Amino acid sequence: MITSGKKTKKQAIYILFFGGYDITATIIKGVTNAPYVHTALSLTPSLDSIYSFNIKLMLEQLRPYLKNGLYVESIKNYDKKIPYWLYRIEVTHRQYQKIEKIIQKLKKHPNMCSYNIPGALGFLYPEFWENVQKKQKYSFTCSEFIAFMLETSGIVTFDKPLHMIAPLDIINLKQLKQIKKGIVGELQE
């Protein structure tokens, strides 16, 4: 690619799709008719930092609470037995920088982030999608987060609202190139 007489160096981002075996994973697989139940983004092939939106039950001094929003994890945090599919997508330097900038903003201001529960329920009950009113600008499901990053950075444009994007919609993008698949334990070695 040539821009203004200078060569533009291509970079890449990495998108991970995960399967699962718990009850939530079984429900998601049944609704979406796909083996993928979770998706995440990494800016490096080493997968040392993986970014996703999630909701988890946590304990603090024996009091349960829900933690939700942007999660920054490592591949080491995932169950070794879970199946994964790893894809690469080439991006321009400018697109890569835009993604980095958004991630840094979300990490710096976690109170701006939340998990989009009505969006997630929309997969079970589509009438929820008709009434999705985001309380926060950065409220996403995991696949909605990936779609937002891809669309906001100018990599792709989706033909439906982002809150309706499932992992299968992302994996079907022609720009994605599968580079590995297997079980997570293989990536942790």
Contacts (Cβ under 8 Å, ≥6 apart) of 127? none
State how far Cα 185 lies from the chain centre: 20
Torsion sign across C-alpha atoms 167, 170, 174, 180: negative
Each residue's pLDDT tens digit, 69-108: 888 888 888 889 989 999 999 999 999 999 999 999 999 9
Rounded to whole angstroms, the Cα distance separating 141 from 145 reads 6
Helix (H) or strand (E) holding 144: helix 142-152
Q: Please give the pLDDT value at position 133.
A: 53
| CATH number, position 121 | 3.90.1720
Q: Please give the pLDDT value at position 13.
A: 97
Q: Please give the pLDDT value at position 175.
A: 93
Each residue's pLDDT tens digit, 1-59: 333 445 556 899 999 998 876 666 666 666 666 777 788 999 999 998 999 988 765 55
Contact 50, 73 (CB under 8 A): yes
Q: Comparing 42-51, 157-166, 179-188, which segment has the lowest mean pLDDT?
A: 157-166
> Domain total for the chain?
1
Top-ranked range on mean pLDDT: pick from 10-14, 61-65, 128-132? 10-14
Rounded to whole angstroms, the Cα distance separating 28 from 159 reads 22
Contacts (Cβ under 8 Å, ≥6 apart) of 69? 53, 54, 110, 113, 114, 115, 138
Q: Comparing 63-72, 75-84, 120-129, which segment has the lowest mean pLDDT?
A: 120-129
How many Cβ atoms sit within 10 Å of the Cβ of residue 33?
A: 8
Q: Please give the pLDDT value at position 159.
A: 92
Structural domain of 35: 2-187
Contact 116, 139 (CB under 8 A): yes
pLDDT band, residue 61 (cuts 50/70/90): low
In the predicted model, what is the mean pLDDT of residues 139-164?
Answer: 91
Q: What is the pTM of this model?
A: 0.82
Biggest CA pair distance of the chain: 62
- The three-state secondary structure class of 82 is coil
Mean pLDDT of the chain: 81
